[in-house]
Structure 1
Amino acid sequence: MTGMETGGLLYRVWVPPEPESARQVRRHLEDCLLRWGLLDRFPVEAVGLVATELFTNALKHGKQDGRAVLVVARWRGEVFRVEVHDRNPQGPVLTWPTDQDTEGRDLVLVDALCQRWGHLPKRTGGKFVFAEIPARKEGV
């Protein structure tokens, strides 16, 4: 579903809470960039990677209990925003893994690729984690 929202575009999709769905999330958001004519404006790989990492984090920590995960894409001006909603009210914490850690790099990647990220509580319980990917600079 797409629609105008305060001068931008909005897309929402419910995705099964399964690890294999991460590819589907990436395709949905890359398709948004294509349909909205933004392929040259935003780094497609960064959008896909951020969406995949947020979705995977929601599966791991989001207390979905088998319920679908809401993924939202928003475009407004110089920012492409990815949101992943889950049922756990506790927000993610950025930690710096050691060389020996085999996981825990997801938010480090998100932090590196985004101009801003964080989480907000939902009135209905849980939270959504958002990440804002900046538009490419001219000539890049």
Structure 2
Amino acid sequence: MDGYAVRYADVAGATAADPVVLPVVADLPAGTPERPFLAPGRAARIMTGAPVPDGADTIVPVELTDAGTAVVRIDEAPDRPARAARRGRRCRGGPRGRDGHPPRPRPGGRGRVGRPRACAGAPAAAGRGRLDGRRAGAAR
């Protein structure tokens, strides 16, 4: 989600009548290796896919701001401190059904239901820069 990485405590009371104004100290596009520390009272402009800066615990969607680049005016506090997927979150534990449990194979059925999925982002998150394009376990 495009927006601004902030500390929730800095923006919790923001309203249209009483907005919070913060200096923008970093611009983080998707895929950047940069991961600055965000001090209290500061914001970092962040794009979908960029790492959340250390020290930030909330992403304020750009729609709740004036979209400033040097200074940002936050007109509304987000609902709760979060809105950001942590690294590797989608790779934990394999697929899940609506009830939160792993799917079970149907009796007499065939297929891959219930097997954990591989996550293409896991090697990159672990620091491996290049993938060779072969499936895990394929003959070499």
Please report the TM-score for the alignment, with normalisation by the length of structure 2: 0.22
Structure number with larger C-alpha Rg: 2
Q: TM-score, normalised by structure 1?
A: 0.22
Of Structure 1 and Structure 2, which has the larger fraction of its residues in strand? 1
